[in-house]
A and B are shown apart, each in its own frame.
Chain A
Amino acid sequence: MSRSILPVLTICAGLVLLWYGGAIWMNWQVVADTQARAGATPGLMEMVRLTLNHARPLLPAPHQILDELWRSTATLPVTSRRSLVHHAWVTLSAALLGFGMGTAFGVLLAVAVVHIRALERSLMPWIVASQAVPVLALAPIVIVALGAMGLEGLLPKAIIAAYLCFFPIAIGMVKGLRAPDATARDLMRTWSATQAQVFWKLRLPASLPFLFAGLKVAMAAAVVGAIVAELPAGAQAGLGARLLAGSYFGQTIQIWAALVAAAILSATLVGLLGAAERLVARRMGARA
């Protein structure tokens, strides 16, 4: 792993440089027009400074985004409507609730599918096929239908997030519960283990690596689901609402800050799951 630190840092540095170059290039025209209207003829260095500090740039420079992130998280009270922490929490709560619901449903479904043959034969092909369906397109329907039933706010978003994350979990879990080979299952039989014992002592431990792989995919999907669920409903709060408001009012820095916040949120959650996975693997006696 340490072998890849230098290459990763090099590429990141290259990307940042590329970004600054892009910011100068993309904002040049806008700045040049304003300056020409004002009758000013700034020098090259002055132009560069202006392109990198434009208030509503086409592409904000990285330091502008970091500045906005800092301003909207650290300097504002958390309860403020302009605080990014507030919006991130709205999205995070929906994503986590949906993730919990999706995980429970996905695991239950997988257990049922593994034990009931008819269910596997009839339902599993549909679950697999539904992976090819753009599920996110259903988000507006869920919002509208639940809104008609008087449900608004957290729950509809959580349901969309749950809907997105139960597939990878169910698929991974089914694969995992099937992972023990015939020798292991025969061994359990020779010990005359009950079906419950086979499940708790053989199938479930064997499925954990698959479950965690699914959980990590599902976690990222849950964040995407919670964000996208905020788009069609015109939500007032949340990272998706920030994206939408930013795109309406041309506040590019705000969009980028919300995007970076979403990326940090998602990467942290997936990272936490990865840490939990390593912990569980060590408890189960895997080599570090």
Chain B
Amino acid sequence: MTGLLALIVTGGFAALIATVHAGAGGTGFWMGVVATTLLAAWLVQRLGDAPDRGLPALAAPVAFGATVLALWEVLVLGLSVPMVLLPAPSAIAARAWLAAPMLWGDFAQTFLKAVLSGYVIGCGAGFALALVADRLPFLRRGLLPLGNLVAALPVVGIAPILVMWFGFDWQSKAAVVVAMTFFPMLVNTVAGLAAAGALERDLMRSYAASPGQTLWLLKLPSALPFIFTALKVNAPLALIGAIVAEFFGSPTQGMGFRITTEAAKLALDLVWAEIVVAAVAGSAFYGLVALAERAATFWHPSVRP
């Protein structure tokens, strides 16, 4: 029954999209749109009752996303929304296909150079300082309130200064990423290193474990969930930092540069294509970190099935 419904909805939207591309319209067309949308809503409702785990759980969000995409296409073309306002998904895809080499160049400039290097340096530095702070309680008590304060500040505003210091190329963007990722990592790692229970710590003492052994065998493992939280929070932050930093000046390449210049030229299909690239890169980055988390903290209650 659900399968049949899915088939009808898919066919309905396919027919509607074909009609709208052929330039047809009229009352019958719009009645078709309403009917198909209602059927799609029913389908999503039915899929929502599927089991919580595994592949069936993906059916509802996938159906919902596909419906939104199809409606977007039909409505934008059917109502002939101007491109400046919202380009149709097909137009975005076509433009992305044509501009693929350029998009790849922007991706390499922003993501592979600036985001990745800045992310590694920022997270690494935050982690290192947290290790030091864990050994020096005075430093820890001083750093934690400051680190929490920084979370409330618009760190990305430092971008124009760093662009001035490190030049227009990717180094300045990486520096912004470092500034943005450093503090979440520091605060989370410090909290994580303090998370090991007093009982376990006493046990390590009674074994006469050295500070290094305690760190490696007890504190780091118990800090892993916190560290991965910071790594996950930092993944989209890093991308945002690099893109916003490019608003302040960049070589003639990069995702943030492309978005601002093409938006000024009203080439919104290209801007949307760039957004899609950013979205895919951001989600993939986040997903990879989440996968690493599952592999590294398989023992943690939130991961265990």
Question: Which of A's residues lie within 8 Å of B, judged by CB?
Answer: 3-4, 7-12, 58, 117-126, 129, 131-138, 140-141, 143-145, 148-149, 216, 219-220, 223-224, 227-228, 231-232, 239, 243-244, 246-247, 250, 252, 255-256, 258-259, 262-263, 266-267, 270-271
In the complex, chain B residues 152-187 whose Cβ is within 8 Å of any chain A Cβ: 152-154, 156-161, 163-165
Secondary structure of the A contact surface, majority rule: helix
Is B45's CB under 8 angstroms from A243's CB? Answer: no
Is A134's CB under 8 angstroms from B243's CB? Answer: yes
Is B268's CB under 8 angstroms from A7's CB? Answer: no
Residues of B with C-beta under 8 A to A259? 154, 157-158, 161
User: Known: A4-B145, A220-B154. Contact between A126 and B138, CB under 8 A?
Assistant: no
Is B60's CB under 8 angstroms from A231's CB? Answer: no
A7-B138, A137-B274, A228-B156 given; 7 more Cβ-contact pairs under 8 Å: A4-B142, A11-B143, A119-B48, A132-B236, A141-B268, A145-B86, A228-B244
Is A132's CB under 8 angstroms from B260's CB? Answer: no
User: How many B residues are at the interface, by size bracket?
Assistant: 35 or more
Residues of B with C-beta under 8 A to A271? 152
Residues of B with C-beta under 8 A to A267? 149, 152-153
CB-nearest residue of chain B to A231: B247
Is B61's CB under 8 angstroms from A126's CB? Answer: yes
CB-nearest residue of chain A to B274: A137
Is B244's CB under 8 angstroms from A136's CB? Answer: yes
Give which listed residue, A131, A144, A270, contacts B236 with CB less than 8 A. Answer: A131
Query: B256 at interface (Cβ–Cβ under 8 A)?
Result: yes
Is B82's CB under 8 angstroms from A148's CB? Answer: yes
User: Known: A132-B235, A231-B244, A244-B248. Contact between A223 and B154, CB under 8 A?
Assistant: yes
Is A262's CB under 8 angstroms from B266's CB? Answer: no
Is B141's CB under 8 angstroms from A247's CB? Answer: no
Choose, from B116-124, B216-224, B280-288, the stretch at the interface. B280-288
Complexed CA–CA distance, A126 and B141 (Å): 39
Give which listed residue, B61, B140, B278, contacts A134 with CB less than 8 A. Answer: B278
Is A140's CB under 8 angstroms from B271's CB? Answer: yes
Residues of B with C-beta under 8 A to A143? 263
CB-nearest residue of chain B to A216: B152
Query: B128 at interface (Cβ–Cβ under 8 A)?
Result: no
Kindly count the residue-residue contacts between A and B in the assembled complex, taking CB atoms under 8 Å apart: 180
CB-nearest residue of chain A to B283: A132
Query: B195 at interface (Cβ–Cβ under 8 A)?
Result: no
User: Known: A140-B271, A266-B152. Contact between A3 and B165, CB under 8 A?
Assistant: no
Q: List 6 A-B contacts (CB under 8 A).
A: A132-B287, A145-B85, A148-B266, A227-B154, A232-B264, A267-B153
Residues of B with C-beta under 8 A to A8? 141-142, 145-146
Is A126's CB under 8 angstroms from B263's CB? Answer: no
Complexed CA–CA distance, A264 and B176 (Å): 20
User: Known: A223-B154, A259-B157. Contact between A4 and B144, CB under 8 A?
Assistant: yes
User: Known: A145-B84, A148-B82. Contact between A247 and B164, CB under 8 A?
Assistant: yes
Cβ distance B68 to chain A, nearest Cβ, rounded Å? 8
Residues of B with C-beta under 8 A to A255? 160-161
